[in-house]
């Protein structure tokens, strides 16, 4: 009984954070980008499945790939699986043994209740992509935001870059053609074919 009460309290707190407007409230990531296009938004990006997005904060680097995405019982229940690779030593080298790898399932559950303060998700949620100490909000499909769960939309030093790479062995964070994006509340949405996210240039390591 005590465990059930604790679970309900946790769900209630999560619902308040989401509904109160601290984070996007309408599964903005759910407006999925076409299969082979990346979507650049003011507050984040949406990646096609199987393609790697790069994350940079100071000298830390991450590579994130969404491997699956699907709906649950309703169109308000969203799930996805991802792989995240964290390289924090400043080298940007994902072939080193000190790279931290995480594979996890994400979940958004429909909210039920009679008001904003008396609402809760129907099951456990996981709304953050975790890459080492870096946390990025997720809201459906291949979405990544420039901020984490509970933070107001804004610039927290996070940069994101879509790539056409499919395997971590291909990644070179110093490729001169990579286009890095920061939070920009005035930026208009941009769809980019995934094979045109940068001009091919000689890799520089």
Proportion of the chain above pLDDT 90, given as a percent: 67
Q: What is the pLDDT of residues 57-87, one digit of tens each?
A: 999 999 999 999 998 888 889 999 999 999 9
Q: What is the pLDDT of residues 117-135, one digit of tens each?
A: 777 776 889 999 999 999 9
Asked whether the beta carbons of 174 and 203 are under 8 A apart, the reply is yes
- Determine the average pLDDT of the residues in 20-44: 66
Q: What is the pLDDT of residues 89-119, one digit of tens each?
A: 999 999 999 999 999 999 998 878 776 677 7
Question: For 73, how many CA atoms within 13 A lie in the half-sphere containing its CB?
Answer: 5
Angle among Cα 185, 186, 191 to the nearest 5 degrees reads: 95
Angle among Cα 8, 11, 12 to the nearest 5 degrees reads: 85
pLDDT given for residue 7 in this prediction = 39
Q: What is the pLDDT of residues 183-200, one digit of tens each?
A: 999 999 999 999 999 866
Count Cβ atoms within 10 A of the Cβ of residue 9 and give its class: 0-12 exposed, 13-18 middle, 19 or more buried: exposed
Which has more confidence, 114 or 23? 114
Domain ranges of the chain: 2-196
Q: Is the pLDDT of residue 8 over 60?
A: no
Q: In what order do the strands lie in the sheet with 100-108?
A: 100-108, 78-87, 60-71, 52-57, 159-162
14: tokens are 């999560």
pLDDT given for residue 170 in this prediction = 96
Mean pLDDT, the chain, whole residue set: 84
Contacts of residue 57, Cβ cutoff 8 Å, sequence gap at least 6: 134, 157, 158, 159
Q: Is the pLDDT of residue 163 over 70?
A: yes
Q: Which of 4, 25, 196 is nearest to 110 (CA)?
A: 25
């Amino acid at each position: 009984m005590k465990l059930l009460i604790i679970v309900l309290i946790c769900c209630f707190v999560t619902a308040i954070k989401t509904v109160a407007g601290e984070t996007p409230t309408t599964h903005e990531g759910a407006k999925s980008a076409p299969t082979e296009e990346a979507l650049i938004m003011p507050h984040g990006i949406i990646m096609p499945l199987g393609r790697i997005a790069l994350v940079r904060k100071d000298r830390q680097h991450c590579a994130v790939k969404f491997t699956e995405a699907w709906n649950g019982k309703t169109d308000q229940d969203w799930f996805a699986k991802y792989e995240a690779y964290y390289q924090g030593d400043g080298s940007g080298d994902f072939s080193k043994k000190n790279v931290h790898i995480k594979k996890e399932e994400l979940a958004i559950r429909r909210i039920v209740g009679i008001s904003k303060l008396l609402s809760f998700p129907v099951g456990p949620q996981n709304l953050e992509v975790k890459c080492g100490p870096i946390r990025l909000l997720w809201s459906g499909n291949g979405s990544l935001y420039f901020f984490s769960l509970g933070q107001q939309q804004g610039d927290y030093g996070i940069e994101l870059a879509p790539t056409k790479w499919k395997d971590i062995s291909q990644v070179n964070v110093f490729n001169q053609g990579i286009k890095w994006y920061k939070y920009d509340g005035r930026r208009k949405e941009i769809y980019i074919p995934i094979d045109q996210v940068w001009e091919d240039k000689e890799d520089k390591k």
